[in-house]
Structure 1
Amino acid sequence: MIDPSSSAADLVAHLMSLRSETNIAGMKRFGIETGTALGISNPDLQAIARRAKKDHRRALALWQSQVREARLLAVYTADPKQLTLDEARLWSADFNSWEIVDSAADLFVEARLLQLIPEFASDEREFIRRAAFAMIASAAVHMKKEPDATISGYLPLIEAHSTDPRNFVKKAVNWALRNIGKRNRSCHAQALLLAQKLSESTDRAARWIGKDAVRELTSEKIIARLKG
């Protein structure tokens, strides 16, 4: 029985009991790193996290297990108020899959560790750099009370790394640009301007990022939502 008193070992044992080879095979098709995976879906993990509740010390132990599902459970049950920069950096050194990165990015933003964004962006490792732009994408949506200047202030960073051709970086840069543009009218104008600039770039990655962002930011659906 999973409850708030469950230890990291209890949770890992429970996860092990749910292993599904069929699901592991399916995850591979979505580009998920399955070397330590048990094949448990994120909705199921989130349900376990709700029963286990927040426990920061236990979350740190779960991360050390190296099991994919245990690390996602660590992200879901860590306390953002207790998460430190050093802990976030330690976790980031283990990033090896886009889904872990994107889930952790939400936690890092909730913990207000925004100083990691430029630090991660300057890191040459693909998944750590992705984390920077996943954090920007998350902040644009979830930090509603943050001044727009903070969010749009990441546009130069987006432009600077728009030429990184690696798939998981390129898609996160694009995601960050689109989310800034969808935040409100002011951010939309600034993001669209950059998207149009990138769409005319001679660099293939930057051009793709720009064209895709322009396509969404000029869509009737987005324009109507911003006017509403």
Structure 2
Amino acid sequence: MLQDHASADARALLGPRYGIHVDRALGVSMADMKLVARRVGRDHRLAADLWATGVYEARVLAGLVDDPSAVTIEQMDAWCADFDSWALCDTVCFTLFDRAPGAWTRLEPWAADDAEFVRRAAFALLWSLALHDAGAPDESFVAALGLVEEHAGDERPLVGKSISMSLRAVGRRNGDLKLAVLTTAERLVDSDSIPARRVGRTPLRDVR
């Protein structure tokens, strides 16, 4: 299914470009994975089998074909613990987790987890919810800004980038959230933490 689209040249680029472990990858483009996903359709059981392989493209495909309504909190936590690249983390958050019933419940525990890709997942999920959850109340995003301030000092670039992008996405939802985000960003850029100042600069530039 995926092997038919594999390319050695594409596989060689996965490590330097996306931080993917090439020993567990085939070298299939995202366009081809989406093509396979459309052919397969939604299949929760197949998604679990694909994830269990540990292969990067199989796990991306799992995120594309799984049924969000069938995704449990336990599954979200287990898959999140398996994230080993920003590419896999962000793809699953943006194509599956943000539509799962328990999405909002995972922000706080994942943000509190010191594992790099678990914490990144918290803010990739917030970023995605800001873009995709049209019906979410402003209060949910305002509460999440507290997590942004709490963890903006994380020195790891892959975490800081996700926090900054989530802040920018929240600020673009509406005028009230824009003001809340700018207030948060201003506090960050005035802080003593270099990573926090870096997190706050992008929203101040892009949300105003």
Q: Shorter-chain TM-score: which interval? A: over 0.9
Q: CA RMSD in A?
A: 1.1
Cα distance in 1, alignment partners of residues 32 and 194 from structure 2: 39
Q: Which residue of 1 aligns with 2:9?
A: 22
Structure holding more helix per residue: 2
Cα distance in 2, alignment partners of residues 192 and 48 from structure 1: 41
Whether the 8 Å contact between 1:139 and 1:151 is mirrored in structure 2 is no
How far residue 27 of structure 1 moved from its aligned partner, in angstroms, is 2.1
Normalising by structure 1, we get a TM-score of: 0.87
The one of 139, 142, 152 equivalent to 1:149 is: 139
Q: Give the 3-state SS of the residue equivalent to 2:18 in structure 1.
A: coil
Cα distance in 1, alignment partners of residues 205 and 187 from structure 2: 13
Q: Which residue of 1 aligns with 2:118?
A: 128
How far residue 199 of structure 1 moved from its aligned partner, in angstroms, is 1.1
The one of 214, 217, 221 equivalent to 2:207 is: 217
Q: Give the 3-state SS of the residue equivalent to 2:167 in structure 1.
A: helix
Count of residues paired in the alignment: 205
Cα distance in 1, alignment partners of residues 144 and 188 from structure 2: 15
The one of 183, 195, 199 equivalent to 2:189 is: 199
Q: Give the 3-state SS of the residue equivalent to 1:93 in structure 2.
A: helix
The one of 172, 194, 206 equivalent to 2:162 is: 172
Q: Give runs of aligned pairs for residues 41-80 of structure 1, distance below 5 A.
A: 41-80=29-68
Structure 2 residue ranges without an equivalent (≥5): none
Cα distance in 1, alignment partners of residues 101 and 177 from structure 2: 20
Identity value in percent? 35
Q: Deviations over 1:96-145 (max 9, x none)?
A: 01111112212112013211111111111000100000010011111111
Normalising by structure 2, we get a TM-score of: 0.95
How far residue 94 of structure 1 moved from its aligned partner, in angstroms, is 0.8
Q: Give runs of aligned pairs for residues 173-192 of structure 1, distance below 5 A.
A: 173-192=163-182
Question: Where has structure 1 moved over 3 Å in runs of 4 or more?
Answer: none
The residue identity in structure 2 corresponding to 1:37 is: A
Cα distance in 2, alignment partners of residues 211 and 150 from structure 1: 23
Cα distance in 2, alignment partners of residues 105 and 48 from structure 1: 19
Q: Give runs of aligned pairs for residues 155-166 of structure 1, distance below 5 A.
A: 155-166=145-156
